Structure 1
Amino acid sequence: MAVYTQVSAEALAAFLSRYECGELISAKGIAEGVENTNYLVDTTADRFILTLYEKRVAADDLPFFMALLEHLAAKGLNVPPAIKDRSGVAIQALEGRPACLIKFLSGVSVSHPTPTQAEAAGRAMAEMHAAVRDFTGMRDNSMGVASWRPLFERCGRSLDQIAPGLYDDLGHALDVVTAGWPDAGFDRIAIHADLFPDNVLMLGDTVSGLIDFYFASTDLRLYDLAIMHTAWSFDATGETYHAAIGDALIRGYESHFPLQPFERAAFDTLASGACIRFALSRAWDWLNTPADALVTRKDPLAYLRRLAHYNSSLVTHVQ
Structure 2
Amino acid sequence: MAVYTDVPTEALASFLAGYDIGELLSYKGIAEGVENSNFLVHTSTGHFILTLYEKRVAVGDVPFFLALMEHLHARGITCPQPVAARNGGTLGTLCGRPAAIVTFLDGMWMRRPDAGHCAAVGEALARMHLAGSDFPGKRRNALSVEGWRPLFEQAQDRADSVQPGLRATIADELGFLEKSWPRGLPAGVIHADLFPDNVFFLGDKLSGLIDFYFACTDTLAYDVAICLNAWCFEPDHSYNITKGQNLLGAYIKTRALSDAELAALPVLARGAALRFLLTRLVDWLNVPAGALVQPKNPLEYFRKLRFHQKAASVRDYGIAERVRV
Q: Cα deviations across residues 79-112 of structure 1 (Å, max 9, x unaligned)?
A: 1121001111100000000000111000101011
* Aligned-partner Cα distance in 2 for 1:27–1:243: 41
- What are the equivalent positions in structure 2 for 1:74-113 lying under 5 Å apart? 74-113=74-113
- CA contact 2:145–2:177 (8 Å) conserved in 1: no
The structure 2 residue matched to 1:290, chosen from 275, 288, 291, is 288
Q: Which runs of 5+ in 1 are unaligned?
A: 314-319
Aligned alpha-carbon RMSD (Å)? 1.1
**2:175 matched to 1:175?**
yes
Aligned to 2:269: 271
Question: The residue matched to 1:132 in structure 2 has which SS?
Answer: helix
**2:191 matched to 1:199?**
no
Question: The residue matched to 2:33 in structure 1 has which SS?
Answer: coil
- CA contact 2:140–2:218 (8 Å) conserved in 1: yes
* Aligned-partner Cα distance in 1 for 2:108–2:59: 29
CA apart distance, 1:247: 1.3
CA apart distance, 1:141: 0.3
> Percent identity among equivalent residues?
49
Question: The residue matched to 2:133 in structure 1 has which SS?
Answer: coil
Aligned to 2:117: 117
TM-score by length of 2: 0.94
Q: Cα deviations across residues 220-263 of structure 1 (Å, max 9, x unaligned)?
A: 000001001101111345x2222111111111111212222222
Question: The residue matched to 1:158 in structure 2 has which SS?
Answer: helix
- CA contact 2:139–2:216 (8 Å) conserved in 1: yes
* Aligned-partner Cα distance in 1 for 2:289–2:310: 35
Question: The residue matched to 1:80 in structure 2 has which SS?
Answer: coil
* Aligned-partner Cα distance in 2 for 1:244–1:165: 32
Aligned to 1:25: 25
Residue type at the aligned position of 1:198: D
Residue type at the aligned position of 1:7: V
Q: Which runs of 5+ in 2 are unaligned?
A: 312-325
* Aligned-partner Cα distance in 2 for 1:44–1:35: 28
Residue type at the aligned position of 1:275: A
- What are the equivalent positions in structure 2 for 1:40-51 lying under 5 Å apart? 40-51=40-51
Aligned to 2:323: none
- What are the equivalent positions in structure 2 for 1:121-270 lying under 5 Å apart? 121-184=121-184, 186-236=185-235, 239-270=237-268
TM-score by length of 1: 0.95
* Aligned-partner Cα distance in 1 for 2:55–2:259: 40
* Aligned-partner Cα distance in 2 for 1:150–1:15: 36
- CA contact 1:40–1:49 (8 Å) conserved in 2: yes
Question: The residue matched to 1:133 in structure 2 has which SS?
Answer: helix
The structure 2 residue matched to 1:300, chosen from 285, 298, 301, is 298
- CA contact 1:108–1:202 (8 Å) conserved in 2: yes
* Aligned-partner Cα distance in 1 for 2:251–2:90: 32
Residue correspondences, number: 311
